Amino acid sequence: MLIDSHAHLDMYDNERDLDDVVNRALQGGVTHIIAVGIDVTSSFRAAELAARHECISSTVGLHPHDAEKVNAEALEELKSLGGRPEVVAWGEIGLDFFRDYSPHKTQIEAFKLQLEMADYLDLPVIIHDREAHDEIFEILNKKGGRHRGVIHCFSGDYELAMAFIDMGYYISIPGTVTYKKASVVQDVAARIPLGRMLVETDAPFLAPVPRRGKRNEPVYLAHTARKIAQLRGESFEEIARRTTENAKILFSLS
């Protein structure tokens, strides 16, 4: 049984479509899904989904693409939402220096503010890191308090993964690990300690082989787990069991 540690369930077409997505996931062996917020609206939607579905938990946060929307009002709304029992993490937050939808300085300030808010609420963080490895690491390395969270959709190399792990973070492996030329993330998936690994779909994005290029769903998480099992020379069942245990620990799932 698997836990999808990162999916954007509010992005599906409508409630009926979402119900079908959730049912397919459950039938396919996914026991729980973390519905991730990327702004105030999606965070509220994710929390509403989690309140309706026992198999869903949610998060709150403002994505680096929308860093300019991180203000006192937005943080207060998310802070209030973050106290709900269905909310298990603060994120998706971080830095994205690839798309550059927000100025770097603004992204960094927004990231630091949200790290502080997560600490205040005692929530783990879900971190987006795209083309900003050094900056993310430096900010986290200088941060006080607990280091508790996950580097989502990990795109760095093994050495960087171990540096984050040594700091206290989990590494989440997405469906890109199934891509033929994804040698770097495959090396990470093959070598990092299984006790610090999560798996995710990032649905509806990044569908794994054999669904690459099509809409992703949590049910396809099994393809990612099977590829990791192949890379590590371990059983699918072991990968599923250990990554599920890790997700339960990080997100305080019963």
CB 251 within 8 A of CB 89: yes
Mean pLDDT, residues 155-165: 98
**pLDDT confidence of residue 243:** 98
Give 53-76 pLDDT, tens digit per residue.
999 999 999 999 999 999 999 999
Asked: is 2-250 a CATH 3.40.50.620 domain? The reply is no
Cα torsion through 211, 214, 216, 222, rounded to 10: 0
**pLDDT confidence of residue 144:** 84
Q: Cα(134)–Cα(45) distance, rounded to whole angstroms?
A: 33
**pLDDT confidence of residue 220:** 98
Name the pTM for this structure.
0.97
What amino acid is encoded at 188 in this protein? V
Give 28-40 pLDDT, tens digit per residue.
999 999 999 999 9
Q: Cα(205)–Cα(221) distance, rounded to whole angstroms?
A: 12
Percentage above 90 pLDDT, the chain:
96
Mean pLDDT, residues 161-187: 98
pLDDT at 86 over 90: yes
Mean pLDDT, residues 186-214: 98
In degrees, to the nearest 5, what angle opens at C-alpha 132 toward C-alphas 192 and 186?
A: 30
**pLDDT confidence of residue 171:** 98
Contact partners, residue 41, CB within 8 Å, separation at least 6: none
> What are the structure tokens assigned to 139, written together?
């900010």
